[in-house]
Amino acid sequence: MAEFMSLSAAVEQHLRDGQSVAMEGFTHLIPYAAGHEVIRQGKRELTIIRMTPDILYDQLIGMGLVRKMVFSWGGNPGVGSLHRMRDAVENGFPQRLDLEEHSHAAMANAYEAGAANLPFAVFRGYKGVDLPKVNPNIRSVTCPYTGEVLATVPAIRPDVAIIHALRADRQGNVLLEGIVGVQKEAVLAARSSIVTVEEIVDDFGPRSANAVILPRWTIGAIVHVPGGAYPSYAHGYYKRANAFYIGWDAIARERETFAAWMKANVLEASADSFAGLAFGAGQSA
């Protein structure tokens, strides 16, 4: 049942060292503020799960919080590599990073199966490619009607899901809109969840009868963090800081510039100060 609390309390109470955590967001609504709090609290030995790990996961990896990553595409979209991820995979710095790699189709199906409380998902994929040779979790079942062999993937059931949403009402129901990605599935698949929101409203008011809403009884903690998706975006609140994404390439390329940036902007900063950049266009990175 959704409980309103501070960001630090939410991360303290819901995420423990060694757990698996999915901080989802498909370009839109990436939970940067919550992820930065995880870094400030210095959680260790995490398994991080995400279809499209981007800068936030680069930061978690570069700060040495991560033992394993489950993913399907790891890059800085439209810009290039995640240098901290590459440093971990190619050089074991700051520590070895285990990868469990899937395709997007597999990950999307695996979240869906998790939300549906199934142990695995079936899909038509991985035809003629090499990933099944290096990922033993890619298996198959035979259709009991047609004999067709289809690919399978284990359901994703994270210990904790962390997402950023547009609005919560005072009862703790949460509304998403726009590019909704796999966030609803991630929350429903997880054992507990933290949701940061742009705004808390008395009531959602007039809306589509089919609005994407997570009822309060599906959520662990709700935290009010305006700007909590910055430098990603929150539809109707602020735009994606594309310049930040472009600028990140130079920051993350070297270990020293990365460490300095993290110290100044995350470790020694408050959640509000970084998130606040969402509303002061252009002065970031």
Partner 1 sequence: MSYSPTEIMTIVASRFLRTSDICFVGIGAPSAACNLARLTHAPGITLIYESGTLGTRPDVLPLSIGDGELCDTALTTVSVPEMFRYWLQGGRITLGFLGGAQIDCFGNLNTTVVGDYANPKVRLPGGGGAPEIASSCGEVFIIMAMNPRAFMAKLPFITSMGHGAGKGSREALGLSTKGPTRLITDLCLFEPDPETSELIVTAIHPGVTREMIQAQCGWPVHYAAQVGLTPAPTDNELAVLRDLQARTKQAHAA
> Which residues contribute to the site for its own copies (CB under 8 A)?
116-120, 122-124, 137, 139-146, 148, 150, 152, 154, 177-178, 180, 207-212, 235
7/114 with CB nearer partner 1: 114
11/182 with CB nearer its own copies: 182
* Backbone Cα Rg of the chain: 19
**Which option in its own copies, partner 1, none does residue 150 bind, with CB closer than 5 to 8 A by kind?**
its own copies
Cα 199 to Cα 111: distance, rounded to the nearest angstrom: 26
**Which option in partner 1, its own copies, none does residue 152 bind, with CB closer than 5 to 8 A by kind?**
its own copies
82/271 with CB nearer partner 1: 82
Tell me the residue type at 175. Answer: L
Q: Which of 174, 156, 157, 173 is nearest to 165 (CA)?
A: 174
Q: To the nearest whole angstrom, how small is the minimum distance from the Cβ of residue 150 to its own copies?
A: 7
Beta strands in the chain, from DSSP E residues, in sequence order: 3-4, 20-23, 46-50, 66-71, 98-101, 120-123, 139-142, 149-154, 160-169, 174-176, 192-201, 212-214, 221-224
Q: To the nearest whole angstrom, how small is the minimum distance from the Cβ of residue 7 to partner 1?
A: 24
Other beta carbons less than 10 A from residue 143's beta carbon:
10
213/262 with CB nearer its own copies: 213
**Which option in its own copies, partner 1, none does residue 243 bind, with CB closer than 5 to 8 A by kind?**
partner 1
Helix axis angle, 55-62 to 32-40, nearest 10°: 0
Q: To the nearest whole angstrom, how small is the minimum distance from the Cβ of residue 74 to partner 1?
A: 5
- For residues 111 and 118, the answer to whether their CB atoms sit within 8 Å is no
CB burial string 116-137: b at 16+ within 10 A, e below = eeeeebebebbeeeeeeeebee
Q: To the nearest whole angstrom, how small is the minimum distance from the Cβ of residue 34 to partner 1?
A: 19
DSSP, collapsed to helix, strand or coil, labels residue 159 as coil
**Which option in partner 1, its own copies, none does residue 86 bind, with CB closer than 5 to 8 A by kind?**
partner 1
Q: To the nearest whole angstrom, how small is the minimum distance from the Cβ of residue 137 to its own copies?
A: 8
Query: Which tokens belong to 151?
Result: 């690919």
β-bridge mates for residue 152, sequence order? 122, 139
40/83 with CB nearer partner 1: 83
**Which option in its own copies, partner 1, none does residue 170 bind, with CB closer than 5 to 8 A by kind?**
none
Q: To the nearest whole angstrom, how small is the minimum distance from the Cβ of residue 143 to its own copies?
A: 5
90/145 with CB nearer its own copies: 145
**Which option in partner 1, its own copies, none does residue 57 bind, with CB closer than 5 to 8 A by kind?**
none
